[in-house]
Structure 1
């Protein structure tokens, strides 16, 4: 059976979700979760939530879904052990360091791959399963057909979002809040700059008459797709909303409960349930609704454009837990004559308790069945309600205090019996260490250059690059054909430079074949290695039986030394640190990890990668399907209210990449990079001219060779130093 998974930002939300009919709830603790500014639950509240949920057969998943700093791993260890002791049914994870630590210190904790892992295809799901995960949360951008294809071949449960707020960027791949204000979505502190207004520019001129909320998506409402997703084999239907209140939780859970239950009824029953659910959802907080990604019809209407703040018709009031477990009782005496109460529920759980009291014949007021039922039925705020009681003898005298004591004992004993028999899901298996070609740490710092044209490869190779990354997502929005790969390899190898294949940050199910075909062309052309930009790439390379070395790219969000070690254990021969990592964090990675550590130090950092296309929405026909390719005609930017402009480029998969307004530039701090133990520094040069690449590669070549004599200014306000010296929330 599929589960309806409800959000909870507080213990009250947990109780409300259970009462409304959720099969599972998810929430975060006071630390280590991606809703830093929600109320969240204390350890004591988590324990209570787990006990209450399990009594009703409701699963509990705890979000441990942020990137961890090395300094947090000790506290994280204790927290994971606490969650394991509470018996939670799974933890939702983004950072492979959390998964590796959990397998070591709390091996019974099932691992769920968060949507922050950006898993959007079957190969990504396979990667999670092979690394001990028991459930995968897919990216929200997938169509219903893609989800169906994944479910048909996946051997682990698949979880999809069906309702609530949606991020403009692919989850786990958004750095806009991080680089604009130091509040990282990957650390649970997103300031939501996507909900601010922007103006789209083409060649410096406004495309729009007025600024608009061009990066703000309407809320997801998958109501009309529930039957299709159930038929497709989706296991878990997830509602977003850990920052919302009780009314939202109750209303949305009740709505989807109706539709899921009606799936197994007559067509008339389904139609009625859908109508009732739709009416309920209109009462819940929303920014108006869309299901465009599921339908595969992303357009301007997918955006809120004029109304990002949302609306709420119903008062957001708290509600108590009224859902109860029906129990029955029988009162008699044990072999020693003492009063005994046997209690059981409808699932066969039984508890037997006795009182230190021997009943005697009543002189005046005998304890009738009605009287005993009245005393035992005073179950108050317990999770039980008494349906009936039978009594062996209605002629005895039994004080109310004795019956009250039996009632309390029975509640406690039956609770423990139910919890003891609760079927906690099994954890996954730990992966075996990979065997891969070993790449030695270079004696000198390598200069790595990423570019997306053959001319760019030649410029980088001719001017001192050691390694060139070619392929993956192109800012020139063209595919990399066989001739391009052959020419790029030739241009690099003629100068004694290695050429590695870059791969996309996003691999969607309907693009798996295209990505794998490009990898095959690259391998056939004679590349020297592969940079894995997404988890799916590891499974693809294994299918190709490739023994080429693999480096983990920065889009895998490697933020600490344990995550670096986890990728090294998977066979990676090099690690590119997260662009959110500070230099001291990279120093710890370099000190602790056997792999060479690389850092992006020059060029435009990607703020967002989005499936929704702001260019086609406002400069084209308003929709992606049938777009005339307006992105090919002009340079597009987004301008915010501070007059900062962010370039918008489109790749060959028709995705937008929103770049930072300023170039990252760490050249003045080259000696600090060397002292940190970095083995390689990268220039991000996609979309840049051969002349720009020539100048930047020469600049860093002189620094690496020790021939740079010009004074490099450290107070240049036209560039950014990223997070190398200033951390993130």
Structure 2
């Protein structure tokens, strides 16, 4: 069976997911979720949401998929313990420290590796299993052929995104929002800068990084043929209509309904949210970008006509509209949204209008002729959802009356059975005795409960008078007891706190220099205080014994020689095949001591702390635990397999493997390609003078296009604890939240 997992951001979405047919939901409590300020439940509401889901036999996965800083970790431990107690079915996690702590403290709690862990091949799955994860969410850049290979690891499940928004870059390794505005995607605060307009190599700005939404429903049979444990739908920030109609469509596709019905359900699903759709990397769809739009396009309604009033918008309808619809009018290079309250036609004010009609709707502002109008929220879809009715759990009841006239109601649901006996006795009827049908009609009044009466039996050897009030009370007591027993199955008892393992700080004071050219190697060779690394195997081979191999993020690592030489890695999956690796480079997401110790247990001896930590935070961490800090270099803000140049028609065989993207408010990104993986670099380097001037801590630097003179200045400043004063090198010194 393939579990269908739905997104939930509030109670209405929760019921939409349940009614649509979800097997499980994922949601966030008040802390540590990847949507830090939106779509989160308070502690009180989270308890209620879990109870509701479990009442319908729907599992609950809580997202704890952000990176946790050192000063937050004790509170995070308390939060994890509370989630364990209240019966969460699984935690979706990213932070290696959270995994380390939770796996040690709560051995029977399911931990699912978030897509933020960027598990993209079989080695990542092996590493996730070794960490104690029971499931891993596959990176959305992974094609189905690789998913098949990943399924070869026994003892761990795979979860695959099948529908919803796609990140442009690999999740968990994207620093673009951090660098451009100090809002970390790894900390749940992504500002979605990839949805802005960029100029590609000087061309007119367009949405060069805005991904279409993923939809695999037309390829669902290929997915169903594989042993994928869970199909996941994205969208915790979307409308309940989107949740219901998307879940309903995928539920039906998984269950194998007829094509005609499925086409109807798909039509409703695509109307609920539309940013154009793609099969993504999963289904090898070559068209993944929407260059024209970064938001919900919606459903085309028609175009505006000249209006007689600035308070009315006139439209020639090419699709029906309804009172309560949300519309978006495209006006030049921007849009304006409105809700339909009144629809004015030649027949008068109506609540709906059909294709071909000329209508006016209330609108504040003058709009010219020919502006395109889209529907972004459909009142009809809401109506369809509400009219479809709520899911109900089957309930069997049996009312027995013994010879002493004791009345007992037996209730069965969830594979549980309870019996409750009334303190009142039945009475021998003088006339009109109670019968099975009248009792059933009374007992099936189950409004406000998750149940539907599907079977009822009445057993008595007497003709009886049974007051309705007694029957109602028996029903209430039986259902309360049934729910109590069912809910108790999920609750757990919190054990003792697990202390953090003791870590003795260790330091390698040499500067780790990651180089990109032979000229850079030549300028650094012979300086005793530096160790040299390169992501380019050719440079390593040409400088054997001088330059050590580093594995670039998302490398396929196809060369056995590279694997044997590699001593610096950037992903836990790399360690599975690079047994000699002792160094975790500046792509690290380590923010706390538990994560640091987790990597130490894997045999990593030299760990770079996350570049997203402030200088003070990283200095304190290094003094307490050891490791090093990233101190200089153009920041790799993103890695991706989606190339805008290729989608514009560029042939990879003739590509120069370099282009730029410029955003009017945030400067230029320089993009290079290696083995079909694009690396996005900031135009200016990050410089953290305070790390080497005031504190003698180990540091890493990353050289890309620096000249020999610049490298000499940089290394001289670091080794002599002097400020670095190259022009414009302080562009990204602002702290990242």
1:607 to 2:649 alignment: no
- Deviation track 1:458-488 (CA, whole Å, cap 9, x = no partner) reads 32223455211122xx5xxxxx24xx43432
Task: Name the CA distance, whole Å, in 2 between partners of 1:101 and 1:389.
Answer: 49
Aligned residue for 1:411?
479
Partner residue of 2:716?
Answer: 698
Q: C-alpha displacement at 1:606, in angstroms?
A: 1.0
- Residue 14 of structure 2 is matched in structure 1 by 14
TM-score, normalising length from structure 1?
0.83
Deviation (angstroms), 1:440: 4.9
Classify 1:27/1:506 alpha carbon distance in 2 versus 1 (closer, same or farther; 3 Å). same
Q: Describe the SS at the equivalent of 2:152.
A: helix
Q: Is the 8 A contact 1:94 1:114 kept in 2?
A: yes
- Cα deviation per residue 1:76-130 (whole Å; 9 max; x = unaligned)? 1221112111221110000011112212443322100000000000110111111
Instruction: Give the alignment of 1:216-255 within 5 angstroms.
Output: 216-255=210-249
* Distance verdict in 2 for CA 1:133–1:668, change over 3 Å: closer
Q: Provide the C-alpha distance between the structure 1 equivalents of 2:552 and 2:29, rounded to a whole number of angstroms.
A: 33
Are 1:648 and 2:674 counterparts? Answer: no
| 1:529-583 deviation per Cα after TM superposition (whole angstroms, max 9, x unaligned) | x122111111112xxxx4x351222323111222112212222111101110112
Distance 1:227 1:639, change over 3 A: same
Structure 2 residue 467 is the aligned partner of structure 1 residue 399: yes
Q: What residue is the counterpart of 1:527 in the other structure?
A: none
Distance 1:645 1:294 in 2: 30
| Partner residue, 2:730 | 719
Contact 1:554/1:579, CA 8 A, preserved across alignment: yes
> Could you tell me which of 365, 379, 389 is aligned with 2:446?
379
User: Is the contact between residue 668 and residue 712 of structure 1 (CA under 8 Å) also seen in structure 2?
Assistant: no
Shift of 1:224: 2.1
Mapped partners of 1:17, 1:367: distance in 2: 40
Do residues 519 (structure 1) and 587 (structure 2) align? no
Which position in structure 1 is the counterpart of 2:363? Answer: none
Helix, strand or coil: the match of 2:225?
helix
Q: 1:16 to 1:668 in 2, by over 3 A?
A: closer
What residue in structure 2 maps to residue 70 of structure 1? 70
SS at match of 1:133: coil
Q: Distance in 2 between matches of 1:335 and 1:629?
A: 92
* Equivalent position of 1:197 in the other structure: 197
Per-residue deviation, residues 671-693 of structure 1 (Å, max 9, x unmatched): 3343xxx3x21111134444433
1:550 to 582, 606, 613: 582
TM-score by length of 2: 0.82
Q: 1 or 2, which has the higher strand percentage?
A: 2
The residue aligned with 1:427 is: none
Paired residues for 1:43-62 under 5 Å = 43-62=43-62
Aligned counterparts of 2:643 and 2:678: Cα–Cα separation in 1: 6
Aligned residue in 2 for 1:536: 573
Partner of 1:448: 512
The answer to whether residue 159 in structure 2 is matched with residue 159 in structure 1 is yes
Corresponding position of 1:526? none
2:656 paired residue number = 631
Mapped contact 2:183–2:736 kept (Cα < 8 A): no
Structure 2, unaligned stretches of length 5 or more?
A: 299-375, 493-497
Give the distance between the partners of 1:130 and 1:335, measured in 2 at CA. Answer: 62
Give structure 1 stretches of 5+ with no counterpart.
Answer: 263-268, 425-429, 475-479, 493-498, 524-529
Aligned pair count reads 647
How far apart, in 2, do the equivalents of 1:532 and 1:335 lie?
78
Q: Is the 8 A contact 2:29 2:42 kept in 1?
A: yes
1:256 equivalent in alignment to 2:253: no
| Contact kept? 2:28, 2:62, Cα under 8 Å | yes
RMSD of aligned Cα (Å): 2.7
Superposed, 1:456-605 pairs within 5 Å as 456-463=520-527, 465-471=529-535, 474=536, 480-481=537-538, 484-490=539-545, 492=546, 499-507=547-555, 511-514=556-559, 516-520=560-564, 522=565, 530-541=567-578, 546=579, 548=580, 550-593=582-625, 596-605=626-635
Per the TM alignment, residue 607 of structure 1 is displaced from its structure 2 partner at its CA by 1.3
| SS in structure 1 at match of 2:210 | strand
Q: Specify which structure has the higher proportion of helix.
A: 1
The match for 1:672 is 694
Q: Is the 8 A contact 2:523 2:708 kept in 1?
A: yes
Distance 1:287 1:329 in 2: 48
Q: Where does residue 313 of structure 2 map in the other structure?
A: none
Aligned counterparts of 1:662 and 1:325: Cα–Cα separation in 2: 59
Task: Give the whole-Å Cα distance in 1 for the aligned partners of 2:153 and 2:480.
Answer: 44
